[in-house]
Chain A
């Protein structure tokens, strides 16, 4: 099993450009999450999904959109990137009934200039 994978690993965007980050998991997990991690701060939840076709806002959703058309994939979109979105983005998944363990992907380092 590959676990949780993220594409791309690195990206540099100019202000105003758009992009989509892809998260894929092969563990048949129900729940998926997108976080961002900034220096000196804990991971902050952007959006999450409790199952295929459903999404919900987390703590810092502004400027991002998500979709979960297939159970194994969770996409994070930036419609118009801003320098404040420079961060490391982590995707995570977990199975239903095991709220204590989230499995994280390796992260995507995004820089917006």
Chain B
């Protein structure tokens, strides 16, 4: 079993739709959590950190459930420019040396 698992997708949604991605992690000692975005054939870029209380950044909302070891990302009012692969990332410690990346979920937003 992979340490970080994600819905593989692809998710094909129309513009304006709301879409949610799920991620589960197996290491209960994991300290911090993130969502990265990776465009086709490009490098990953930080989208947002995920806090225990849940956090929002514009159309994006991230949730963390430590008890269930589950992270989610909700995108509202999808734009064409949201088409990308979304990577769930878990940091095993507080020192940044133990980032574990999920395989990613691909999203295509269709006109």
Q: Which chain A residues have a beta carbon within 8 Å of chain B's beta carbons?
A: 31, 35, 40-45, 48, 50, 56, 90, 94, 99-102, 104-107
Contact with A along B5-42 (1 / 0, CB 8 A): 00010000000000000000000000010100000011
Give chain B's interface residues, CB within 8 Å of chain A.
2, 4, 8, 32, 34, 41-46, 49, 87, 91, 94-97, 99-104
Among B32, B46, B99, B100, which residue has the most Cβ atoms of chain A within 10 A? B99
Q: In this complex, what residue of A is CB-closest to B48?
A: A100
- Complex formed: what's the CA distance from A104 to B37 in Å? 12
| Partner among B87, B94, B101 whose Cβ is within 8 Å of the Cβ of A99 | B94
B43 and A42 contact, CB distance less than 8 A: no
**Quick check: B102 and A94 within 8 Å, CB to CB?**
no
User: B101 to A100, Cβ gap below 8 A?
Assistant: no
Whether A50 pairs with B46 at a CB distance below 8 angstroms is no
Contact B4 A42 (CB under 8 A): yes
Selected from A43, A45, A99, the residue in CB contact (under 8 A) with B44 is A43
Residues in B whose Cβ lies below 8 Å from that of A41: 103
